[in-house]
Amino acid sequence: MDLSERGLTAGKLVDMKWKLGVAVCSDECKSLNSPFVAMTLKVADASGKISTHTFELTIPQFQNFSEQMKDMAARMEMI
Amino acid sequence: MATNAKNISALLTGLAKRNYYNEPEFTDEFLKSQIFPDLSDEAYATLLKRCSNYMKNLVSADMDFNQLEAFLTSQMKRREAAMTEEEASAYRKFWKVHKNKIHDTLVSKTNWNNSLKKVSWRIDVKSQSKSAENINEPSAIVELQIENPEESQKTEVVQFEMDESRLAHVLQNMKDIEDQIVQYCQQ
């Protein structure tokens, strides 16, 4: 079932934190040189209980996420 | 049995598959049986060690093609066990094909944190409510599928709702991140 078909009680996004880092090197690669975006989201459910969710994105993954948010905002404006 | 560019290339590809592309079926024994069936075990072991070490050098430094040429040239000038032109040609070919792929694999292998598997969203509009001010107020519903790399069966699903002002705040965060990426990263 995709999101449009499911009735759900979604929580509310109450906080978003981020950091931009670079993975410098690893045991297999002295020259990893790989930037990443780490994010932490706090979501409050209907009762006010807060859950925390973190994840890490490569730059292309972040850009895709960012594009989706922008698309969403553009659609909202049309309403 | 002579080593030439072709069989060295095949060995390098097999080693890459096992070491980097998560294809463990390409064992040393399998590779020997496929590529160097007539080579003595001792000679094969020496060759294997040589190729593995060279590959590790290339991968560890993520050599660009200038660095590769300099490296190959220096290896060909060695007094003992110098690299042959055939070998060099095999490494050039191998690196051209696999450099970026191996690097990307190593990058994703070193994210031990959760990754974002999927983003879905929809927009809801509240059409009726007790107090008239809420009519036609859109809200964005987002669903994130967050995957733990070590336990890929356990996907966490997070759903949340944002009104226009919360979404604007999120977009501002996105923009701040993008600005920092431009400033600090050569992309």
Residues B15 and B100 grouped into a single domain: yes
Residues B28 and B80 grouped into a single domain: yes
pLDDT at A63: 96
Tell whether A38 is within 8 A of chain B (Cβ).
yes
The answer to whether the beta carbons of residues B2 and B90 sit under 8 Å apart is no
Distance from CA of A6 to the nearest CA of B (A): 11
Residue with tokens 């990426």: B181
Cβ-based neighbours of A78, under 8 Å, separated by 6 or more: none
Residue A13 has pLDDT above 90, yes or no: yes
Q: What are phi and psi of B174, to 5 degrees?
A: -60, -45
pLDDT at A4: 58
- Residue ending a domain, choose from B86, B109, B132: B109
pLDDT at B148: 86
Residues B120 and B177 grouped into a single domain: yes
Residues B56 and B147 grouped into a single domain: no
pLDDT at B132: 66
CA angle at B5 for the pair B107 and B72, rounded to the nearest 5°: 60
Residues B93 and B120 grouped into a single domain: no
First to last CA, chain A: 25
Q: CA-CA distance, B186 to A45, in Å (whole number)?
A: 40
The answer to ipTM > 0.85 is yes
Residues B104 and B27 grouped into a single domain: yes
- Residue ending a domain, choose from B109, B139, B166: B109
Q: CA-CA distance, B59 to B6, in Å (whole number)?
A: 21
Cβ-based neighbours of B42, under 8 Å, separated by 6 or more: none
The number of distinct structural domains making up chain B is 2
Tell whether A74 is within 8 A of chain B (Cβ).
no
Q: What is the pLDDT along chain B (187 residues), one digit of tens a residue?
A: 678 999 999 999 999 999 999 999 999 999 999 999 999 999 999 999 999 999 999 999 999 999 999 999 999 999 999 999 999 999 999 999 999 999 999 998 899 999 999 999 999 887 766 666 656 788 999 999 999 877 777 889 999 999 889 999 999 999 999 999 999 876 4
Residues B44 and B99 grouped into a single domain: yes
Residues B31 and B93 grouped into a single domain: yes
**Does A61 sit within 8 Å of B115, measured CB to CB?**
yes
Round the average pLDDT of chain A to a whole number and report it.
Answer: 89
Comparison of pLDDT for A79 and A70, the residue scoring more: A70
Q: Which DSSP string corresponds to B42-71?
A: HHHHHHHHHHHHHHHHHHHHT--HHHHHHH
The answer to whether the beta carbons of residues A59 and A69 sit under 8 Å apart is no
- If DSSP codes are grouped into helix, strand and coil, which group holds residue B169? helix
Cα B76 to Cα B68, B81, B86, B128, distances in angstroms: 12, 9, 11, 79
pLDDT at B24: 96
Residue A71 has pLDDT above 90, yes or no: yes
Could you list the residue range(s) of the whole structural domain that residue B151 is in?
Answer: 115-185
Task: Provide the sign of the torsion angle of the four alpha carbons B181, B21, B118, A53, taken in this order.
Answer: negative
Q: CA-CA distance, B4 to B7, in Å (whole number)?
A: 6
Residues B140 and B165 grouped into a single domain: yes
pLDDT at B153: 75
Distance from CA of B179 to the nearest CA of A (A): 11
Residues B35 and B101 grouped into a single domain: yes
Q: Which residues of A touch B121 (CB under 8 A)?
A: 3, 68, 72
Beta bridge pairs of residue A34: A23
Residues B79 and B23 grouped into a single domain: yes
Residue A1 has pLDDT above 60, yes or no: no
Residues B93 and B127 grouped into a single domain: no
The answer to whether the beta carbons of residues B145 and B155 sit under 8 Å apart is yes
Residue A16 has pLDDT above 80, yes or no: yes
- Residue ending a domain, choose from B109, B128, B163: B109
pLDDT class of A77 with cuts at 50, 70, 90: confident
Tell whether A49 is within 8 A of chain B (Cβ).
no
pLDDT at B133: 63
Beta bridge pairs of residue A38: A19, A56
pTM of the model: 0.82
Tell whether B121 is within 8 A of chain A (Cβ).
yes
